[in-house]
Amino acid sequence: MIIYINITKPNLMSKQYNIKRTKIINDENRELYKAKNITETDLVNINNTIITQPKLNKDKRLTAAFIDSNKKSTFFIETPYLKLPFGASAYEQKDVKTWSITAKAQGEKPEEIKVLFDFLGEVQAKALDLCAENSKLIFKKELTKDQILTADKFKGCIKKSANQEGVAYPDSITFKIAKTDANVPLLDLFKISNGVPTKVEVGSMEELPALIPKGSDASFLFKLNIYFVNGNAGINLKLYHILIPETTRYTSPTGVFVFSEDLISKSSGTDNNVPVSTNDNNIPVKTNEPYSTSTNEESVEVEDSEEEEEEDDDEEEVP
């Protein structure tokens, strides 16, 4: 996991932001930028992550921000590859679609994933402390942390769940996907092909499920965001980039013979040899020759038993 420190403060909704965002990833001096502005996983420290005091902006909205105290700047976080149980999906309510991606705390690098989720848990706790200390400003009345949680006035970024037996599922985080008025995702999607990351042009939100399917893995570049809306508070993860790894997917064996040679050489439940030949597609198929109980080249046809014929005769039609 890598944390990208953001030197500038671009506006998510502006064209200028899109230019700066692409330049950070594609600039020829990318390695130099990383060396100066990236903190490696083992240096992540909740004590270096502060939340500014809530204050009203020029639009009279309450705001605060996450800051890296060493860099004195907001920061981006790059995740390890995480498992996506649902891929990119949409939730529709009152004819409005909200798109999101849920990522589980599962992947090829469990130690890095644990560092990420532990860090997010500590960030979540620090944000709740801030809300309790400023409850009168945020919630219009004095509330303790327990009262805030009981009233469901604070939503963290980590989701916990369990099955009916109480066995816990892996923790998960959800990224909401912003979009333009033209229904185009406000993010950059990259896929690795032949070892090279390639940017994928996404024309509409409806293309995302095919590009980010259920069960795939992905790495995310996001920024922590704390919000205060209608007497509630919480943390969301503002998504900037998605990276899909190069994978090999195995399809169902349609039209391909995949059974073992042992099954071909034996009939079901016996040791009799099953005569087979090979068709034009090199697929073993049973010949027209009858089964044989001898090892010589002569074959003996097996006739239907009289009992089966009698059973057929005894069947009566039911009106």
In the chain the beta strands, taken as DSSP E runs, fall at 2-5, 38-40, 49-51, 55-56, 62-63, 66-68, 75-78, 82-83, 88-93, 96-104, 154-155, 158-159, 172-176, 188-193, 196-200, 217-229, 232-244, 276-278, 284-286
Helix (H) / strand (E) containing 147: helix 145-150
Higher pLDDT, 277 or 156: 156
Q: Are 238 and 177 in contact (CB under 8 A)?
A: no
- pLDDT confidence band for 30 (50 / 70 / 90): low
Mean of pLDDT values over 154-171: 93
Q: Pick the residue with more confidence: 33 or 254? A: 254
- Residue 77: predicted pLDDT: 87
Rounded CA gap, 66 and 77, in Å?
12
pLDDT of residue 14 exceeding 50, the answer is no
Residue 78 pLDDT greater than 70, yes or no:
yes
CA distances (Å), 63 to each of 55, 56, 230, in order? Answer: 6, 6, 13
CB burial string 24-61: b at 16+ within 10 A, e below: bbeeeeeeebeeebebebeebeeeebebeebeeeeeee
Secondary structure of the chain: what % helix, strand, coil (to 5)?
Answer: 25, 30, 45
Assign 142 a pLDDT band (cuts: 50, 70, 90): very high
**Of 166, 162, 131, residue with least CA distance to 149:** 131
Token pair of 41 as six digits: 């996983």
302 confidence band (pLDDT: 50, 70, 90): very low
Alpha helices in 182-302 (DSSP H): 208-211, 261-265
Query: Of 296 and 277, which is predicted with more confidence?
Result: 277
pLDDT exceeds cutoff 50 at 137:
yes
261 vs 168, residue with greater confidence: 168
Whether pLDDT at 33 is above 60: no
Which two structure tokens, joined as six digits, stand for 100? 């999101």
Place of tokens 């005091």: 53
User: Please, what is the end-to-end C-alpha distance for the chain in angstroms?
Assistant: 73
Residue 154 has pLDDT above 70, yes or no: yes
Overall pTM surpassing 0.75 (yes/no): no
Spatial separation of the C-alpha atoms in residues 299 and 182, rounded to whole Å: 73
Structure tokens at 48: 């270096």
pLDDT band at residue 62 using 50, 70 and 90 as cut-offs: very high
Task: Specify the pLDDT at position 51.
Answer: 95
